[in-house]
Chain A
Amino acid sequence: MGLDAPGPREFSAGPQDPVYTQPMRRSRSFFRPLDALIILTVLVASVWGFLAFRMEAGASVQVFLGNKKYGWYPVSGEIHSVTIPTKIGPVLLELGAGGARIVSSPCRNKVCVRTGRIGHSHSEIICMPAQLLVIMTGSADDGSGKPSGSGAKESAGGSGNGADAVTY
């Protein structure tokens, strides 16, 4: 092989080798009393973690164009922008730091822009001229647990149920 010696090495298969077959002493226990303390500590810390930290802010947004799902984007991490091509022109959606907002839109009244940032599950930004709906969902999955298409259509159609703002 010549890794640390200039010539080839001789490898023995192991089991017949005296070093390999030398019995290794049973020396340590699988379980010691300190382990119980560790288990208890981690268990208590875990329960505290469940109680102390709860995920309430939305973790991703669903984007609907008309009655179709356009895409999904996580809202965690650094703030970044995506451009949504709508029928009235590109809408700039800013995502990150646990929220989303529309930065610019070619619509007339800019109510969607003035809606500001959404950051909680089921909160929405709606732009009627662009037929755009941005809805916060509770988990960063890729499709499950999201609002149904018909529900989204109702919201986009102007029911306004639970919407933060509607641009007319």
Chain B
Amino acid sequence: MRSRIDTDDEAGRTGNRKVTPEGFALALLVASSLQIMENLLPRIPLFPWMRVGFSYVVILPFLLRYGPRSAFALFLARNFITILYGGQPLTTFLIGSASGALTFLGLGQPVAWAYRRGWLGILGAGIVMATAFNGFQLALVNLTLIRHSGFYFQVGPILAWSLVSGALVALLILFSEREIEGLFAPLVVSARAPAAAPAPKPPGPFLIGLAGLAGLLLLPDFRIQLPALAALALLVRDRARILFHAWPFFFYLAWLHLFHTPGAYLWGESITREGVRQFALYSVRLADLILLGRWLSGRFPWQWAGKSRSPYLQGFLLSLPLFTDLFRPSLEFGREMARRLWAGQRKGVLAPAFEAWREKMEAAAMAAEGKGTEAGAEESGSQPEKPAPGGISP
């Protein structure tokens, strides 16, 4: 069997070697969406880590083509999106990110090197990365949270599952060759001379909002979260619609917190008092983060990103406004993927995910470009009443 992931060396020859902000943004959208979709699937209580890791269908090719730094940047950005919009505890983010750092920065280079030389196939690369990540995660969870030697009973199952999940990811990459190829040259930016620069935004409100975001993330306390929700409900338009569209996030929170939090039983023998409290707290926090994310996206001083030369930061910022509508497409192409697999269509099984986000990015880019032209017209005095844009409007 052959695959089509070009490495750095070959990519250089095709003139498509560097990570572009648009490529990174599209990869991040697809990876996060796959992650969210997977998070919605029920987990096995004793083995919650037993998941395929669908997002590695994007991250692993990124590693093999662009190297460990790019892959880790994508992985970290995906984790950040998941904590921002998935309402996961900070510990999950820290342990996941630390495990990823050890895996990508420790093993990424040797794996990519062995792959470039043809010693390692995608199958082996997938299994090595899955095994390393799961192993590091198991050790970190035990060192930081569990601290019980009995926890290592999971070594056998986790290694066996790494074998299965690594192989599944490799197979999905094989079945999604065409889509992954497109990912490496996703949206091409022309060197057209700027016709109209977006008006610079004052950074004050954005910085205040950013500090608020950090506070909401770090202080899961009703005394902080509830007043914030009240304030944001006043500040953000379409709040009810935005929150309604995010209902699967809240469903996920219910799955995690309401039914799996230990404590004193409140209703029946599944919902505990502590679980209700945790669910309420993290739901309010999630609502805060969603509404604040929407508020921030319209106030980002894009002139800053224009100065940054990092394609990762630019890509992350480019994708950020589109994440407020992350769940609906995730669910839609999750359903479509399941339908295709059920029908025995292996090739292009992940095509809906890639196509959906490509279309969204292109639509947003065209909208932004249209607004940019309007802003230019405003500056020239032809449309004085139109406000200048601040980037892609969500």
Please report A residues at the B interface, Cβ cutoff 8 Å.
Answer: 1-15, 17, 19-20, 22, 24-32, 34-35, 38-39, 42-43, 45-57, 59-60, 63, 69-74, 76-78, 82, 97-98, 139-143
Let me know if A30 and B3 touch, CB within 8 A.
yes
What are 23 A-to-B residue pairs whose CB atoms are below 8 Å? A1-B302, A2-B198, A4-B21, A4-B305, A4-B308, A7-B372, A8-B198, A8-B369, A14-B182, A14-B185, A14-B186, A19-B15, A20-B188, A29-B3, A29-B122, A30-B2, A35-B121, A55-B150, A57-B148, A77-B147, A82-B263, A140-B262, A142-B262
Find out whether the CB atom of B151 lies under 8 angstroms from the CB atom of A76: yes
**With A20-B185, A142-B260: A27-B4 Cβ-Cβ less than 8 Å:** yes
CB-defined contacts of A34 to chain B, threshold 8 Å:
114, 119-121, 124
Is B146 an interface position by the 8 A CB rule? yes
Contact residues of B between 165 and 200, Cβ < 8 Å to A: 170, 174, 181-182, 184-190, 192-198
- Whether B140 is near chain A, meaning CB under 8 Å from some CB there, is no
CA distance A76 to B147 in the complex (A): 7
A73 shortest CB reach to chain B, Å: 5
**SS of A interface (majority):** loop
A141 touches B155 (CB 8 A): no
From residue B82, how far is it (CB to closest CB) to chain A in Å? Answer: 22
| Contact A143 to B269, CB < 8 A, known contacts A20-B188, A97-B148 | yes
Decide: A28 and B5 in contact? CB cutoff 8 A: yes
Q: In this complex, which of B5, B127, B188, B270 has the most chain A Cβ atoms within 10 angstroms of its Cβ?
A: B188
In the docked arrangement, what's the CA distance between A51 and B10, Å? 45
Contacts of B78 in A (CB 8 A): none
Q: How far does the alpha carbon of A4 sit from the alpha carbon of B10 in the complex, in Å?
A: 26
Most chain A C-beta atoms within 10 Å of own C-beta, residue among B16, B127, B185, B308: B185
Contact of B265 among A4, A7, A70, A74 (CB under 8 A): A70
| Nearest chain A residue, comparing its CB with the CB of B186 | A14
The answer to whether A71 and B170 touch across the interface, beta carbons within 8 angstroms, is no
A35 to B114, CA, bound (A): 11
In the complex, the answer to whether A32 meets B362 with C-beta atoms within 8 Å is no
- CB atoms of A35 and B124 under 8 A apart: yes
Q: Is the CB of B262 within 8 A of A71?
A: yes
Q: Are B314 and A142 in contact (CB under 8 A)?
A: no
Max chain B C-beta neighbours (<10 A), residue from A10, A11, A51: A11
User: Does residue B294 face the partner (Cβ distance < 8 Å to A)?
Assistant: no
Known: A27-B6, A34-B114, A49-B157. 10 other contacts (CB 8 A): A1-B372, A7-B372, A12-B190, A19-B14, A24-B6, A25-B10, A26-B4, A30-B123, A38-B128, A72-B272
A2/B148 in contact, CB under 8 A? no
CB distance from B315 to the nearest CB of A (A): 9
Residue of B nearest to A21 (CB): B185
Contact B148 A53 (CB under 8 A): no
Would B150 and A98 count as touching, CB distance under 8 A?
yes
Other-chain contact of B391, A2, A43, A49 (Cβ < 8 Å): A2
Q: How far is the CA of A140 from the CA of B196 in the complex (A)?
A: 60
Asked if residues A3 and B314 are in contact (CB atoms below 8 Å), the reply is: yes
Question: With A and B bound together, what is the CA distance between A98 and B187 in angstroms?
Answer: 53
Contact between chains at B368 and A8 (CB < 8 Å): yes
**Which B residues are in CB contact (< 8 Å) with A57?**
148, 150
By the criterion CB–CB under 8 Å, are A53 and B155 in contact?
Answer: yes
Judge whether B127 and A42 touch: CB under 8 Å. Answer: yes
Q: Is the CB of A71 within 8 A of B263?
A: yes
Once bound together, how far apart are the Cα atoms of A141 and B193, in whole Å? 61
A17→B185 contact, CB < 8 A: yes
Given A9-B190, A53-B156, A142-B259, A28-B162 contact (CB < 8 Å): no
Task: Check A31–B188 contact: CB distance below 8 A.
Answer: no
B163 is an interface residue with CB less than 8 A from chain A: yes
Q: Does B343 contact A (CB under 8 A)?
A: no
B197 contacts A2, CB within 8 Å?
yes
List residues of chain B with CB within 8 A of the CB of A47. Answer: 156
Q: Which of chain B's residues have a CB closer than 8 A to the CB of A45?
A: 159
Q: Judge whether B121 and A32 touch: CB under 8 Å.
A: yes
- Contacting residues, chain A, for B295 (C-beta < 8 A): none
Q: Is B358 an interface residue (CB 8 A)?
A: yes
Instruction: Find A11's partner among B158, B314, B369 (CB 8 Å cutoff).
Output: B369
Is B156's CB under 8 angstroms from A49's CB?
A: yes
Residues of A within 8 Å of B187, CB to CB, are: 11-14
Instruction: Kindly state the separation between the CA atoms of A20 and B23 in the bound complex, as whole angstroms.
Output: 12
